[in-house]
Amino acid sequence: MHILVVGGGMGGTILANNLARRLSGELEQGSSKITMLSATDKHMYQPGLLYVAVGKMSTTELYRDQKSLLEPSIDFHVDPVEKFDMDNNSVTTKSGKKISYDILCIATGSRGNAAGIPGLAENACQFYTEADALAMYKKLQKFEGGKVVVATGVPHKCPMSPLEITFFLVDYFKKRGIWDKVDLHYTYPIGRVHSLEPVANWAAPEFDKLGITYETLFNMKEVVPGKVISEEDSSAEFDLLVTVPPHKGQQVIEDNELGAGGFIPTDKKKLNMEGRENVFVLGDTTNLPISKAGSTAHFEAEALGENIAALVQQGEPVREYDGKVFCFIEAGDGKATYAMFDYNNPPNPQAPTSGLHWFKTAYNRMYWASARGII
């Protein structure tokens, strides 16, 4: 059996390592093979970018060599896929190689698409790439006070980031001693300050306490210098605009017409691509109505690892993905909490504590063990 994993982010890496552990016997005998194709030889810890944007983490801590994170039995190539030929179970790579597979796993992820909203890229700070996070930090360092607006597009990666960046901005301005010169205004696409109701119920009074104003049902339509205008015919003026931009899937998914917006229609429990039994999708690449977050990719990868190994060894899958998501929520002031939920159980987050902030701080450095499939 040849298992081809396309994408070397969190989901692809955890899945490939999980499979390499489960199928070590088959890989040694040569009856199975795992190949990974990625666009880069570096692996980035993406959640770290939020910290880079406010000067809490350095960019050198964000990267490791992809090869160093993979089991030695995985055949890794920096050669991204350009064409999917699913009827013939093969892909064509950038270098022109044609690779056949028995099982295909697509984990190409999503990317910020500020260009989707006129004027957003030119007028806002964002933190979804290393360059953007660094540019945002530089801009913050020069900021001496005024109106700051946080605006969020949909869909977006990491549902906690709009709140986290807001609380981190408060910490940052307080540390600089300019908090009294800042008017912080938070906007959010739906009718409360966060998609999770209990989180919204906790965050709104926190905003009130800190003097952060907010407007809900605010979806960016256009940004002009100094002003963001919403589809709901409202607007907010700013001296500094911080955005969680709308996201879309990778170009290769759109080019191959695998799904609208670059998101592939996926079965919510089996995680196979709709209409394809031997193609699995995980992480941000799915069109599932669940959080686009590292933890989603992680739990999906574990369920898929078990299932694909069972398919290889027994010919039948053994479990279904239950929709589990676990998200830390940095609450500022050295505290954090978390939200955990699945398809059947709603989240029930508790008050933030410093212990959970340490846990998150430690996890930021323990991610690599997680990517290797240890924790």
Determine the Cα–Cα distance for residues 169 and 330; give it in Å rounded to an integer: 12
Determine the Cα–Cα distance for residues 370 and 375; give it in Å rounded to an integer: 5
HEC letters along 122-178: HHEECCCCHHHHHHHHHHHHHCCCEEEEEEECCCCECCCHHHHHHHHHHHHHHHHCC
Residues 114-143 binding another protein (CB under 8 A) are 116
Specify whether the CB–CB gap between 272 and 279 falls below 8 A. Answer: yes
Pairing of strands 2-6, 33-38: parallel
Smaller CB separation from another protein, 68 or 95: 68
Name the one range near another protein by CB under 8 A: 93-101, 142-150, 270-278, 364-372: 364-372
Which residues contact residue 7 at a Cβ distance below 8 angstroms, ignoring those fewer than 6 apart? 37, 38, 106, 107, 108, 109, 283, 285
Q: Which of 126, 243, 285, 364 binds another protein (CB under 8 A)?
A: 364
Three-state secondary-structure class, residue 33: strand
Determine the Cα–Cα distance for residues 99 and 85; give it in Å rounded to an integer: 10
Q: How far is the CB of 293 from another protein (least distance, A)?
A: 9
Three-state secondary-structure class, residue 279: strand
Beta bridge partners of 125: 242
Name the one range near another protein by CB under 8 A: 86-94, 139-147, 260-268, 278-286: 260-268
Which residues contact residue 24 at a Cβ distance below 8 angstroms, ignoring those fewer than 6 apart? 73
Q: How far is the CB of 33 from another protein (least distance, A)?
A: 19
Determine the Cα–Cα distance for residues 327 and 236; give it in Å rounded to an integer: 29
Smaller CB separation from another protein, 135 or 190: 190
Q: Which of 35, 59, 195, 313 binds another protein (CB under 8 A)?
A: 195
Smaller CB separation from another protein, 11 or 159: 159
Residues 51-90 binding another protein (CB under 8 A) are 56
Residues 151-170 binding another protein (CB under 8 A) are 154-155, 159
Specify whether the CB–CB gap between 338 and 351 falls below 8 A. Answer: no
Smaller CB separation from another protein, 232 or 255: 232
Site string for another protein, 15-54 (x = CB under 8 A): ----------------------------------------
**Site membership for another protein, residue 368 (CB under 8 A):** yes
Residues 298-327 binding another protein (CB under 8 A) are 323, 325, 327
Smaller CB separation from another protein, 48 or 80: 48
Give the binding site for another protein (CB under 8 A): 56, 116, 154-155, 159, 189-191, 195-197, 217, 219, 231-232, 246, 260-261, 268, 289-291, 323, 325, 327, 334, 339, 341, 343-344, 346-347, 354-355, 357-358, 361-369, 372, 374-375
